[in-house]
Amino acid sequence: MFDSIAVVGATGAVGTIIRSVLERDSVPFKTIKFLASKRSAGKEITFAGKTYTVEELVPDSFCGVDLAICSTPDESAKEFVPWAKERGCLCIDESGYWRMDPTVPLVIPEVNPQDMWKHQGVISSPNCSTTQMVVAMKPIHDVARIKRVVVSTYQATSVAGLAGTRDLEGGTAAALAGKDYQYETFAHPIAFNCMPQIGSPKYMGYTSEEMKMVYETRKILGDESIQVCPTCVRVPVSRSHSESILLETERKVTVEEARKLFASFPGIVVMDDLPNKVYPMPNICAGRDETFVGRIREDISCPNGLAFWCVSDNLRKGAATNAAQIAEALIAGKGKPA
Ligand SMILES: NC(=O)c1ccc[n+]([C@@H]2O[C@H](COP(=O)([O-])OP(=O)(O)OC[C@H]3O[C@@H](n4cnc5c(N)ncnc54)[C@H](OP(=O)(O)O)[C@@H]3O)[C@@H](O)[C@H]2O)c1
C-alpha cells in the first residue's frame, strides 16, 4: 500500500491514461496529486469524480509522497528523479532517461518481476515497442532460448505524445482539404505516409528507437547474447503499435507449441485464424491492456524460425498499464526474493 501517490506528467498522453488506469483502484492509496510543468499548473482535471488542480513540479512536490508514476520527457526525468529519491519517494519512470542505468531495474512484471526488488529509488518501464515484443518473446525464450530476433515495427503517432496525435489528425484533415499543414513533431507528412525513421541516428545506421529495442530486450531478459535487428517505422495510426517478429530459437518450436505457449502466458491474447481473417489489428487492440499475437507460422526461410504478428496499445501496456502493474506487483510482493 502506498499512502500518497503523485502522477508526474499527468496532463500528457501517457499521464492521461495513467489517471484512468489508477481510477480502477488496483493501486490503493490515501492521497493523490497531479504534477506537470509550469505550462499546465492551475489546470483542473477530474479524477474518480473529484476535481484536482494540476501543480507545477518542484523539488518539494515529492515531500510526503511514497510513489510517483512519471511520464515526462527524458530531460525532465533526469532532473526530478534525484529530487524524489532525496525525499524518499520511489519513482516508476516511463521516460528513456534511466532505463539503461545499471542501478535501475527495467521491468515488465510478467517477465522479470524479480528485478524490481533491486531498485534504489527508481524503476524504469521499457520503451513501448520493446515491451510488447519482449512479452511475446518470453514464453518462447523460456523453453527454446531465442538466439536472434528480426523485428519491423509499424508505430502509432501517439508515441510522440499529444502532439503526435494532433499531427496525425491535423495533417490528415489538411491533406484531404488540399491545404498545407505545419507539423509539430514529424519531419515529413504522416498523413497517407510511412516514415522509416523514429528517433535520431544512433549506431551503424540504426536509430535511437531501434537501439532501444536492442539494449532493452537484452537487459529485461538478462541475456546479452540475444541478437536483435530492428526497423522502426512510423505509420498513420493513432494508437497501438504493430510488429512483424521473426524469432530464431536454439531448438525448433512448432506453430502448435508456440500457440499454446502464447495462450498460457499472462497478458497475451492469441488471435490467429487466417482463413477467417482473424488477427490483431490496431483498431481492435487500442484501449486494451493485453499484448495480442496472430499470424503465427514457421519461418520458411530458417530451420528454427518462428514468425508472428504482434499488436499492443502503446499508451496502455506500452506505458501506463505496465507502470501500474509494477506498482501492483510491488504491493503484492511479486517476484520478491524469499
Ligand atoms: N506516448 C507513448 O506511447 C509512450 C510510451 C512509452 C513511454 N513514453 C514516454 O513517456 C514520456 C511521456 O510521453 P507522452 O507521450 O505522455 O508525452 P506528452 O504527451 O508530451 O506529455 C508530457 C508530459 O510531461 C509533462 N512535462 C513536460 N516537461 C515537464 C517538466 N519540465 N516538468 C514537469 N512535467 C513536464 C507535460 O506537462 P505540460 O502539460 O505542462 O507540458 C506532460 O504532462 C516520454 O518520456 C515518452 O518517451 C511514451
The tens digit of pLDDT for each residue in 286-311 reads: 999 999 999 999 999 999 999 999 99
Q: Which amino acid is at 252?
A: K
Query: To the nearest 10°, the Cα dihedral for 158, 159, 164, 169?
Result: -30
Q: Is the pTM of this model over 0.95?
A: yes
Q: How confident is the model at residue 194 (pLDDT cuts 50, 70, 90)?
A: very high
The pLDDT, as a whole number, for residue 167 is 96
The pLDDT, as a whole number, for residue 105 is 98
State the distance from the centre of ligand 1 to the C-alpha of 221, rounded, in angstroms.
Answer: 26
* Of 239, 235, 80, residue with least CA distance to 162: 239
In tens, the pLDDT along 57-96 reads 999 999 999 999 999 999 999 999 999 999 999 999 999 9
Mean pLDDT, residues 158-181: 95
The pLDDT, as a whole number, for residue 273 is 98
In tens, the pLDDT along 156-169 reads 999 898 999 999 99
Mean pLDDT, residues 226-242: 98
Query: To the nearest 10°, the Cα dihedral for 37, 3, 28, 95?
Result: 30
Q: In sequence order, what are the residues at sequence separation of 6 or more whose Cβ sits closer than 8 angstroms to the Cβ of residue 291?
A: 131, 132, 135, 136, 267, 268, 269, 310, 311, 312, 317
Sign of the C-alpha dihedral computed for residues 159, 41, 121 and 328 taken in this order: negative
* Of 151, 140, 144, residue with least CA distance to 309: 151
Q: How confident is the model at residue 14 (pLDDT cuts 50, 70, 90)?
A: very high
Q: How confident is the model at residue 239 (pLDDT cuts 50, 70, 90)?
A: very high
Backbone angles phi, psi at 21, to 5 degrees: -65, -40
Please tell me the distance from the alpha carbon of residue 138 to that of residue 142, in angstroms, as a whole number: 6
C-alpha gyration radius of the chain: 20
Coil vs helix vs strand at 171: helix
Sign of the C-alpha dihedral computed for residues 188, 200, 124 and 81 taken in this order: negative
E strands present in the chain: 4-8, 31-36, 44-47, 50-53, 55-56, 67-70, 90-93, 122-124, 146-155, 201-203, 206-207, 227-234, 241-249, 268-270, 291-298, 305-312
Q: In sequence order, what are the residues at sequence separation of 6 or more whose Cβ sits closer than 8 angstroms to the Cβ of residue 82?
A: none
Q: Which atom of ligand 1 is nearest to the CA of 74?
A: 45
Mean pLDDT, residues 224-245: 98
State the distance from the centre of ligand 1 to the C-alpha of 147, rounded, in angstroms.
Answer: 34
* Of 297, 254, 270, residue with least CA distance to 135: 270
Mean pLDDT, residues 206-210: 98
State the distance from the centre of ligand 1 to the C-alpha of 159, rounded, in angstroms.
Answer: 10
| Cβ-based burial of 233 (10 A; exposed 0-12, middle 13-18, buried ≥19) | middle
State the distance from the centre of ligand 1 to the C-alpha of 294, rounded, in angstroms.
Answer: 31
The pLDDT, as a whole number, for residue 26 is 83
Share of the chain above pLDDT 70, in %: 100
Q: Does residue 185 carry a pLDDT above 90?
A: yes
Q: Which atom of ligand 1 is nearest to the CA of 10?
A: 43
With a 6 A CB cut-off, is 54 part of the ligand 1 pocket? no
Q: Which amino acid is at 238?
A: S
Q: Does residue 110 carry a pLDDT above 90?
A: yes
Coil vs helix vs strand at 84: helix
Q: Does residue 25 carry a pLDDT above 90?
A: no
In tens, the pLDDT along 243-291 reads 999 999 999 999 999 999 999 999 999 999 999 999 999 999 999 999 9
Helix (H) or strand (E) holding 28: none
Q: Does residue 1 carry a pLDDT above 90?
A: no
The count of other CB atoms within 10 Å of the CB of residue 31 is: 12
With a 6 A CB cut-off, is 230 part of the ligand 1 pocket? no
Please tell me the distance from the alpha carbon of residue 116 to that of residue 328, in angstroms, as a whole number: 12
The pLDDT, as a whole number, for residue 4 is 97
Q: Which amino acid is at 209?
A: E
Share of the chain above pLDDT 90, in %: 97
* Of 319, 144, 153, residue with least CA distance to 245: 153
Q: For residues 254 and 219, is the Cβ–Cβ distance under 8 A?
A: no
In tens, the pLDDT along 121-146 reads 999 999 999 999 999 999 999 999 99
- For a mutational test of ligand 1's pocket, the pick from 7, 8, 11, 14, i.e. the residue with the most ligand atoms closer than 8 A to its C-beta, is 14
Q: Which residues are catalytic?
A: 128, 241
Q: What is the SS3 assignment for 257-300?
A: HHHHHHHCCCCEEECCEHHHCECCCHHHHCCCCCEEEEEEEECC
Cell numbers for 237:
495510426
